[in-house]
Amino acid sequence: MRALRIYLDTSVLGGCFDPEFEIWSNGLMADFRAGLLRAVLSDVTAAEVARAPETVRGLHADLLASGAELVPTTDECLSLLAAYEARRILAPMLRNDMLHIALATVADVDVLVSWNFRHIVRLDNIRLFSAVNIELGYKPLAIYSPQEVSIHGREPGDSSR
């Protein structure tokens, strides 16, 4: 069975160093290191991480060095982003949030993970992004928090965490 491809937005990397989110973000990192899941990063994540604290930059570099997939922003991604913008799913100042979703969609990942509950991990917005994706011939994108995706420390069949 192939490992699920998990697109990470920047909030997940920062979450590794935040007491509120560290158990789940670090659990996800352990899943990547164990080969249970496959990390997918983007050039947008790299640009955002460049402005982050050294610990976050180091984690990003470690993921890349250990074989994380890197997806670039292509014309296809920008076209999908333009469709999201035309539907005004998020405000123009949140362009990078929409670009993360476009990148993950075009890369055909299994899941996008984020701690951004205000704009990304929200049922109403997920439905709007999925509607545009379907209209344009893409599959709906699964979007969850790391808590819902990490399998680190779980026993087989255990969904109690």
Residue range 40-63, pLDDT digits in tens:
999 999 999 999 999 999 999 999
Cβ count near 77 (within 10 Å)? 23
- The first and second tokens of residue 91, run together, are 């405000």
Range of the domain at 30: 4-149
The residue whose two tokens read 């610990």 is: 55
Q: Is residue 82 part of a domain?
A: yes
The residue whose two tokens read 């050294």 is: 54
Tell me the H-state helices in the chain: 10-15, 22-33, 43-49, 54-65, 75-86, 95-106, 123-135, 146-149
How many domains does the chain fold into? 1
Q: Is residue 27 part of a domain?
A: yes
Q: For CA atoms 31, 33, 38, 39, give the dihedral sign.
A: positive
Q: Is residue 159 part of a domain?
A: no
Q: Is residue 17 part of a domain?
A: yes
pLDDT class of 23 with cuts at 50, 70, 90:
very high
Q: Is residue 161 part of a domain?
A: no
Q: Is residue 46 part of a domain?
A: yes
CATH number, domain containing residue 129: 3.40.50.1010
Q: Is residue 59 part of a domain?
A: yes
pLDDT class of 128 with cuts at 50, 70, 90:
very high
